[in-house]
Amino acid sequence: MAKLILVRHGQSTWNAANRFSGWVDVPLNHQGRQEAMEAAKKVSPYQIDICFTSLLVRALETTAICLTEGEGSCRDKSPVFKHDADDPKWHGWDKYEGNKEEEIPIFLSQALDERYYGELQGYNKAKMAQKVGKETVHQWRRSYSTRPPGGESLEDTAARTIPFFQNRILPHLKEGDCVLVSAHGNSLRSIIMYLDKLSEAEVPNLELATGVPLVYDIDSEGEITDKMTLE
């Protein structure tokens, strides 16, 4: 039985400041690193075969901590970030083929990046609510199809995350692999909406805590047989 482990990155500096982050590349703060350490303990019993993460540093930090801290079977392997072979700044690291017995490949993809918040990025959420109204901000943040000014709706985010899940992640699950996905509140919300077959009306109530892994059991047909949160 394959395992799909979804984990939202630990608290970032802008999460703590209640600011819209989106694609701004802010790191974890101290609490976020502690949350990632706790997530590492919870996922350490799983024999992780492969990992996918976004390009943003808060997800990369969480990924690295989850795969290197704590004790467990997956700690016998070394995580290796697999960069885009077409990007010359990666110094030819892509030429390394890897060793499945000794390493856990981590694939980076922009498809898993956080929802783009456009003109809201950097603004304090509470101050923005005072400026334009709580309901407007709630719609920008939680609805399925409403876009913030210059940004993406959750529907737009799903248009990149779900095909990536279907084409890159699901094949590994059908082969029986244990897959870790470290990403963001909205990129993961869109994937969970797809997995759990949630309606647009149910999306606003979908909350994901930082650093708390969610584990799905997936059969060889790609169907969910069980689900649990590692509190």
Instruction: Give the residue numbers marked as catalytic.
Output: 9, 114
CA distances from 80 to 108, 112, 203 (A): 11, 18, 34
Determine contact, residues 144/200, Cβ cutoff 8 Å: yes
Planar angle of CA 78, 38, 227, nearest 5 degrees: 90
CA-based R_g, the chain, Å: 17
Give which of 209, 189, 208 is closest to 198, Cα–Cα.
189
Cα(37)–Cα(17) distance, integer angstroms: 21
DSSP 6: E
Give the residue ranges of DSSP H helices in the chain.
Answer: 13-16, 30-43, 57-68, 125-132, 134-142, 154-164, 170-174, 185-195
Closest CA to 57 of 160, 147, 177, 183: 183
Distance CA 3, CA 74 (A): 13
How many whole angstroms separate alpha carbon 202 and alpha carbon 193? 9
